[in-house]
Amino acid sequence: MNNETLIRAARAARSRAYAPYSKFLVGAALLTEDGTLFTGANIENASYGMTVCAERTAVWNAIHAGHRKFKSIAVAADCSPPPSPCGACRQVLWELAGNIDVIMGNLADETEKMTLLELLAKPFGTENWAENPVSRELEASEDLWRIPVSFHPVGYVVNDYNVPQTIPDNYKELLSKIIIDADMEEGLYRLDEEKNIIVISHLHKAAGYTLKDKRSGRGNEVYGVFACRAPLRPNAIAQSVVELVDIDRNILTVKGLDLINGTPVLDLKTDYRNK
Ligand code: THU
């Protein structure tokens, strides 16, 4: 069977597509080594990610009919240049069909032919992992500290300042509330014995940082980020010391907080060394 015939079969297979969402009909025709033809078309789903492409539908058809040796596949759609198989289909074709010819065509008789390995230059296969058991060394690796950490806020700040620039200069005199997650209220037990507390928070509106720069908080002189309190830091974490004014169940009233409304609070600690 020649490539032209294969493309014609792929074009015909488009008529069996189920593509109500994209309305882009794709057909595929897969030729086995013994000259048997299997076709497929794209089958979409309301849960879009469940969609299967025409090429894979053809592969499933052929494999399930008992075929394991393939020569070529044609793909056809109404687009110019002709459609080329998506990455997922290339991966599936590599594993189940190997380095076959891929003929891409459209309704205007444009065609293009490539081998699968031209389309998938460095394929992934079992050779990448079969002889690569998990080593004990990995568990003891010094590099483990490089894995990003994530935190779960325990509460948030409520006050009238919605952007960092609106925090007044006399913030030390002003009251804010910190609402702690009601499920964590028990963790506040005996906090009312403290005069000052440390609030650790995430500066959720801060973006970007420089390691060394002029620092407005230090007379515009140049300091490293770890040698100042600049809010733009590698990790947007702040530490504020505030006076505890009141606790009503899970709601704290504090004085002197330099954080904007809505700031996620990561932790509270007592400041007993500075009593
Ligand atoms: N599609 C295929 O059938 N084959 C390809 O190689 C690319 C994309 C289908 C999936 C979906 O139904 C529609 O085209 C739009 O992405």
pLDDT in tens, 196-239: 999 999 999 999 999 999 999 899 999 999 999 999 999 999 99
Mutate to test the pocket of ligand 1, among 86, 90, 91 (most ligand atoms within 8 A of CB): 86
Residue pair 6/103 in contact by the 8 Å Cβ criterion:
yes
Residue 271 has pLDDT above 90, yes or no: no
Residue 155 has pLDDT above 90, yes or no: yes
- Residue in 58, 54, 56, 50 with CA at minimum distance from that of residue 31: 58
Instruction: Specify the pLDDT at position 268.
Output: 98
Q: Report phi then psi at 95, rounded to 5.
A: -70, -40
Q: What is the mean pLDDT of residues 41-49?
A: 98
Instruction: Specify the pLDDT at position 206.
Output: 93
Alpha carbon of 24 to ligand 1 centroid (Å): 7
Q: What is the mean pLDDT of residues 12-28?
A: 98
CA 75 to CA 39: how far, in whole Å? Answer: 10
Full set of structural domains in the chain with CATH: 3-146 (3.40.140.10), 155-274 (2.40.30.70)
Residue pair 191/268 in contact by the 8 Å Cβ criterion:
yes
Q: What is the mean pLDDT of residues 148-169?
A: 93
Alpha carbon of 54 to ligand 1 centroid (Å): 7
Residue 274 has pLDDT above 90, yes or no: no
CB of residue 26 inside a 6 A radius of ligand 1:
yes
Instruction: Specify the pLDDT at position 150.
Output: 95
CA 191 to CA 246: how far, in whole Å? Answer: 10
Alpha carbon of 86 to ligand 1 centroid (Å): 7
Q: What is the mean pLDDT of residues 133-149?
A: 80
